[in-house]
Amino acid sequence: MSNVEQAISELKAHFGERLSTAEAVREHHGRDMSRQPVRLPDAVVFAESEEDVQRVVATCYTHSVPVTPFAAGSSMEGHTIPLKAGISLDLSRMNRIIAVNAEDGDVVVEAGVTRKQLNAYVRDTGLFFPIDPGADATLGGMASTRASGTTAVRYGTMRENVLALRVVTPTGKIITTGRRVKKSSTGYDLTKLFVGAEGTLGVITEVTVRLHPIPEVIASAICTFETMRGAVEAVVATIQSGIPVARIEFLDEVAIDAANAHSKLGLKRAPTLFLEFHGSQRWVEEQSETAAAIAQEYGGSGFEWSTRPEERDRIWQARHESIFANQTLRPGCKTYTTDCCVPISRLADAVMAAREDADASSLTAKIIGHVGDGNFHVGYLIKPEIPEELAEAERLAHRLYERTIAMGGTFSGEHGIGISKLDYLRKEHGDAVDVMNAIKAALDPAGIMNPGKLGQVA
């Protein structure tokens, strides 16, 4: 009996029907929203408690069997794909909200709680959790990938909003990182170490996050521009003027075509900004008027804002469904998605260079982004089974990442590394990668936690 078979046998004796070797279940856990091919785990275990997670990890440590954490499966770069097979550990059933501390503005949840579930639960407290990556991701997964999204320009990313974690380490121990306080100067900041580790250093079982007051007024706006450069330069000017926009999203003409077809928006085909403002009625009006004046200076027109919830929901749902809207442009395609972030002063140059590369290519591409913090995406619409298309997308992405790093930026502002971007890690971080590898080796001596990814880079 092999090590994997022995581990599965022991786990099956304990978990019963909560361990599955059915091909359909394994296939579901062998994919995510990336372009990566499916890779099946040997078995899937559905954890319902921290003790379940500890048992799985301890058993796999004993038998040197890989463990890959899984929840919503909404990652974009292959984070949850089990490269070395083994056990896919599904935490989606760990969805209890443990404690809401409204007076302190924080909440403690199990790792499988989703952001929509959390916001529905705390709505009556007058608080909300603002990090919005688009997908209804789990808090554990969002912490593990250091997620952000449309509201990061005002509220920050998971890095700024996670106060503490409980983690099952690769040897099966349970540790707590951080406290429910705004600051501490005791010991290494282990919370920040596990936030963004992509499941390679341990399994997050519990997350403590900040909550924020629900704004008195929320207003959304749409503004179109004569040119792409004008739209992006308007963003830069808006941020540099100090307007505390809650969201400021860019969509190019191709993205607008897709949104119109998919979400029936009826927007003008032009470079477009979606904006959102939070605050009192007077403050929102002042922010909107100032942003409209800036937009006009850069060729913006038709600046319309509304506080009607149905209007806001329509705009942001269309933005969040942008990746699905690609099918309307090219049925059967997959999006070769990119994700980079540059200093705000270099944003216009970076976006324009990406557009010029795409226009000179045979591929259809669209550019969207959370441009208020310098983060944007180029989506190349390809059919991965056509080698020439995949090769062209990889060439364009390589140029994008090289240019981004040269501008002082990063080749991933929010999607993370997963499988797809490992080759670029050393280009950005140099010899610091050796330190990352050393941390991985120290915490995961058997190399069982999400192997083949972060911490094992050549």
**pLDDT, tens digit, for every residue of 255-275?**
999 999 988 888 899 999 999
Q: Which listed CATH number (3.40.50.960, 3.40.50.300, 3.90.1170.50, 3.30.465.10) goes with 3-90? A: 3.30.465.10
- Report the chain's mean pLDDT, rounded to a whole number: 94
Proportion of the chain above pLDDT 90, given as a percent: 86
For residues 379 and 365, is the Cβ–Cβ distance under 8 A?
A: yes
Report pTM: 0.94
Residue numbers in the chain where pLDDT is lower than 70: none
**pLDDT, tens digit, for every residue of 329-379?**
888 888 898 999 999 999 999 999 999 999 999 999 999 999 999 999 999
Look at the block and give the residue holding tokens 């936690």.
449
Residue 147: φ, ψ to 5°:
-65, 160
For residues 316 and 274, is the Cβ–Cβ distance under 8 A?
A: yes
**What are the extents of the domains in the chain?**
3-90, 97-213, 217-406, 421-458
For residues 146 and 83, is the Cβ–Cβ distance under 8 A?
A: no
- 97-213 and 217-406: same fold? no
Considering the domain delimited by 97-213, tell me its CATH architecture.
2-Layer Sandwich (3.30)
Residue 83 to residue 41: CA distance in whole angstroms: 8
The pLDDT of residue 313 is 84
The pLDDT of residue 315 is 82
Q: Which CATH superfamily is domain 217-406 in?
A: FAD-linked oxidases, C-terminal domain (3.40.462.10)
CA quadruple 44, 333, 116, 48: dihedral, nearest 10 = 0
The pLDDT of residue 101 is 97
